[in-house]
Amino acid sequence: MTMSDAATDQFEPRSQVLRTLIERGYVNQATSLAGMDTAFRAGVVPAYVGFDATADSLHVGHLMPIMTLRRLQQAGHKPIVLIGGGTTRIGDPSFRADARPMLTDEQIAANIAGIRKVFERLLHFGDGPADAILVNNADWLDRVGWIDMLRDVGRHFSISRMLSFDSVKSRLEKQENLTFLEFNYMILQALDFLELSRRADCRLQMGGADQWGNIINGVELIRRMDGKQAFGMTAPLLTTASGAKMGKTAAGAVWLNADRLSPYDYWQFWRNTEDADVVRFLKLFTDLPMAEIEQLAGATGSELNALKQRLADEATALVHGAGAARRAEATARQAFGQHGAAEGLPTLELSHVEHGREIALVDLMVRARLTASKGEARRAISGCGVKLNGNVVQDVDLVVSPRALPIRISFGRRRHVVVK
């Protein structure tokens, strides 16, 4: 089996779904584009993506593989969402400098309850041939016997080959610690693919570009143990046009759950997309038809600003619903055009004790996640980038009296928080 970069510019797919995946920008590498194309044309292809439960919400960085599952379902294929209730206990070492912290069973269960919410927005679950299903790999990994796994699965893995994968090699070359526990992660992920192949006739595993080595292991394990052909595909790891990692801001991760990040802030994230990224993100993160997106590709000036708002509306509606998108847009218009605190803005509620004393503005900016540090807040104030109730703040040592509450703090044109 030859594993190579997907030469998408030289391949002409006959299946509509693969054509869609390629033209919208979801394909980075694939084990066999021709084989996948044939499988898609032959009937329903069950395909899975795995998500470890390391937090109680997914973030924008997870949207690429979720949207890939959405595209497959829109074309009549079956999405399988695998929650790593078992693998979360170990931690994926892929391109990490250190081990992930160990979580308790209770923490993992709470995280699973949180992250499953977003899938219900983006995928349709049920019992039909193309309905999505959600599985937890703890259902089988918790019952795997160590000796049985070594004998039945471990013998198919070459240590020298495992050491050659970039996700492992990068840690070793930098002389960073890689525990034996983490080293087993790729075996368990391969076992997941084998189990889903047997349980649900899963034919395809997808993931981010950092999962390429893990995915290949699963494809080969299925071939070696069951003699069946399976496929792997990765999506590109997204960076913005300026080179920043997608989904990371000064205030932290762009979470998909409303209790971690308000729909307004989520809308603003997309509204602030760099000019060069707008069309690309419309293809990846909205359901707008390709023909319409191509017509909008030459937008400039005010038309480009309107297109950014369209991106924010469509992307927010997918994750939080059309009503939340409309409210976020209305709040933005109100916040940009009027003084005072606009209804619907994110809020920071101070405790009863804090209402009895003055608080430094820079502390409030960090608490409200407008900036990542007090140093960044001071630089923003020094650069006249911060407003209090619509007025530019020039004193980096400004303190806020509780008698002045509620107040609206603005950082730049599009980030606002009401403190009360």
Q: How far apart are CA 143 and CA 6, in angstroms?
A: 37
Residue 8 reports pLDDT greater than 70 = no
Tokens of 401: 């009296």
**For residue 98, is pLDDT > 60?**
no
Range in 61-65, 150-154, 260-264 the model is least confident about: 150-154
Encoding tokens for residue 377? 């807040």
User: How many Å apart are CA 293 and CA 287, to the nearest integer?
Assistant: 10
- The residue from 317, 337, 357 where one domain ends is 337
Give CA–CA dist 355/403, Å, rounded. Answer: 8
- Cα 130 to chain center, whole Å? 23
Q: What is the pLDDT of residue 3?
A: 42
Q: Which long-range contacts (CB under 8 A, 24 or more apart) does 144-149 make?
A: 144/191, 149/187, 149/191
The yes-or-no verdict on residue 1 having pLDDT over 60 is no
CATH number of the domain to which 202 belongs = 3.40.50.620
3 state SS of 203: coil
Between 201 and 334, residue with greater pLDDT? 201
Instruction: Indicate if 379 and 332 belong to the same structural domain.
Output: no
Do 93 and 61 lie in one domain? The reply is yes
Q: Is the backbone peptide bond immediately before 406 cis, with ω within 30 degrees of 0?
A: yes
In whole angstroms, give the CA distance from residue 323 to residue 417.
21
**Banded model confidence at residue 127, pLDDT cuts 50, 70, 90:** very high
- 82 and 30, same domain (yes or no): yes
Structure tokens at 85: 């209730």
Instruction: Print the domain residue range for 184.
Output: 4-235
Handedness of CA 71, 278, 244, 7 (dihedral sign): positive
229, 365: one domain = no
Given a cut of 80, whether residue 114 has pLDDT beyond it is yes
Comparing CA positions, the residue from 365, 357, 348 lying closest to residue 406 is: 348
Residue after which a domain boundary falls, among 282, 302, 337: 337
- Of 159 and 97, the one with more pLDDT: 159
DSSP state letters, 236-295: PPPB-TTSPBTTEETTEE-BSSTTTS-HHHHHHHHHT--GGGHHHHHHHH----HHHHHH
Backbone angles phi, psi at 62, to 5 degrees: -85, -10
Q: Are residues 83 and 186 in the same domain?
A: yes
Q: Which residue shows structure tokens 């997918």?
A: 318
Evaluated on CA atoms 285, 288, 292, 298, the torsion sign reads negative
Q: How confident is the model at residue 2 (pLDDT cuts 50, 70, 90)?
A: very low
Question: In this predicted structure, what is the pLDDT of residue 336?
Answer: 56
Q: Phi and psi (nearest 5°) for 24?
A: -85, -10
Q: What is the reported pLDDT for 331? A: 80
Q: What is the CATH number of the domain that holds 407?
A: 3.10.290.10
Verify that 286 and 372 share a domain, yes or no: no
pLDDT at residue 280 is higher than 60:
yes
pTM to 2 decimal places:
0.78
Same domain? For 128 and 170 the reply is: yes
Beta bridge partners of 79: 47
Sequence-distant (6+) residues with CB within 8 A of 384 are: 392, 394
Residue 31 sits in the same domain as residue 114: yes
DSSP-derived 3-state class of residue 372:
coil
Number of independent structural domains in the chain? 3
For residue 286, the domain's CATH number is 1.10.240.10
User: What is the average pLDDT across 222-226?
Assistant: 96
- What is the DSSP-derived secondary structure letter of residue 386? E
Q: What percent of the chain has pLDDT over 70?
A: 90
Q: How many C-beta atoms lie closer than 10 Å to residue 42's C-beta?
A: 10
- Phi first, then psi, for residue 197 (nearest 5°) are -65, -40
46 and 167 housed in the same domain: yes
Where among 270, 304, 337 does a domain terminate?
337
Q: 3-state class of 411 per DSSP? A: strand
Rg over alpha carbons for the chain, rounded to the nearest Å, is 24
Residue 222 has pLDDT above 90, yes or no: yes
| 283 band by pLDDT with thresholds 50, 70 and 90 | very high
Give yes or no: residues 305 and 199 share one domain. Answer: no
Q: Can you say how many angstroms the Cα of residue 225 is from the centroid of all Cα atoms in its chain?
A: 32
Q: H helices of 153-262, where? A: 159-164, 166-173, 180-183, 185-200, 212-226
pLDDT at 73: 98
The band of 111, judged by pLDDT with boundaries at 50, 70 and 90, is very high
Whether the pLDDT of residue 6 is over 60: the answer is no
Burial readout 274-299 (b: 16 or more C-beta within 10 A, e: otherwise):
eeebbbbbbbbbbeeeeeebeebeeb
Same domain, 356 and 312: no
